[in-house]
Chain A
Amino acid sequence: TVGAVAIDKYGNLAAATSTGGMTNKMVGRVGDTPIIGAGVYANKMVAVSSTGTGEAFIRTLAAYDISALMEYGGLTLEEASKKVVMEKLIEQGKGDGGVITVDANGNIAMPFNSEGMYRGYAIVNNNEENENNDTIVVAIYKNE
């Protein structure tokens, strides 16, 4: 599964996710990727894209749950993302994986409960004309 979330110069957020699913899945199986609120979600506060055991993300409505924890629970992006991925996804969803998230304030969180997740982010330095001053960070393993 692959995905992206972004915030633009107008402060708008967006999320996208795409997948081939799981190896040896049943024909006709649909995972969380095209289910809005499970594998992909965005509103004016946060954007989320997921990867992992699709059924677990559907059971917990993981992507929307991050937004709800922020909106109704007052959690930060980091707190909400971690709670869903490191607690609810495992305990209630019985699955593993991770999410990438960005909020309206430009905070980023990329928690995952598996051994690794291919991931990265780019921050545009809008005060600089030279794009070489933009920040790009990529990582694969835990503790990176």
Chain B
Amino acid sequence: CKYIIVIHGGAGVISKSNISEEREKQFLKSLNGILSASKKILRNGGTALDAVQEAVRLLEEDELYNAGKGSVFTSKGTNEMDAGIMDGSTLKCGAVAGVSTIRNPIVAARAVMDHTNHILLMGKGAEEFAQSKSIEIVEPSFFFTQNRYDQLLKAKDTNRVILDHDGEKLVKEEEKTLTVNISGDPIHPDSKMG
């Protein structure tokens, strides 16, 4: 009998040419730390359900990833998050969609599973339910990160809807097209120069 936890932090156009060495180290350290913390739950006799919830909660807390803090922006510059959880032994499940004020949507999804007869709550109803269960509520601005906002601006420039980690490539491509002026200083291609 093996106790195992597997995690992911998103897929996309992720290659060595798009990620700096420093950022690569940040991701590897983060993944290691989250695996280490969540496997402790299994080692101490905890359930698979508790282990996946904690792993995802930790991923939501890390702004490297597109979930919780660090979430990408909608076309209107807001954050709308979704989460779902399922217990394989009972087929019980819970989910929330389109929430903007719940710090950890996965905790709310678990509460939907544990405390309602429903599976999916959305928007304001999900947020009011989370508050009624004393799940942490935050201002929408809590989820703002400059990196993700820059990606939104680039996506809007090109009129594209992009996957979470494809945004990094978009910004990187932009950096590659920098040119220099007569003094050798970089000129951003978006700059309106005479």
User: Which A residues lie at the B interface, using CB under 8 A?
Assistant: 1-31, 33-36, 39-47, 49, 51-53, 96-98, 100-102, 106, 108, 110, 112, 114-124, 126, 131, 134, 136, 138, 140-141
Contacts and interface: CB of A to CB of B under 8 A. Distances in A.
Contacts, number: 339
B56 A18 contact: yes
Interface string B69-94: 01111111011111111111101010
B48 interface: yes
A118 B48 contact: no
Nearest to A117: B11
Contacts of A16: 52-53, 55-56, 83-86, 106, 109
A1 B28 CA distance: 16
A18 B83 contact: yes
Residue among A4, A42, A123, A124 with most chain B CB within 10 A? A4
Interface SS of chain B: helix, strand, loop or mixed?
A: mixed
Contact of A2 (B19, B48, B59, B152): B59
B154 to A, nearest CB: 8
B73 A12 contact: no
B152 to A, nearest CB: 6
Contact of A14 (B88, B151, B152): B88
Nearest to A31: B82
A124 B164 contact: no
B180 interface: no
Contacts of B47: 8, 10, 12, 14
A77 to B, nearest CB: 11
Interface SS of chain A: helix, strand, loop or mixed?
A: strand
B4 A33 contact: no
Contact of B161 (A20, A23, A110, A123): A23
A19 B83 contact: yes
A19 B106 CA distance: 9
B6 A21 contact: no
B164 A22 contact: yes
Contact of B14 (A11, A14, A136, A141): A141
B51 A19 contact: no
Nearest to B81: A20
Contact of B12 (A5, A21, A116): A116
B135 interface: no
Contacts of B15: 115-116, 141
A122 B36 contact: yes
Residue among A31, A36, A101, A106 with most chain B CB within 10 A? A36
B46 A8 contact: yes
A141 B161 CA distance: 23
A4 B74 contact: no
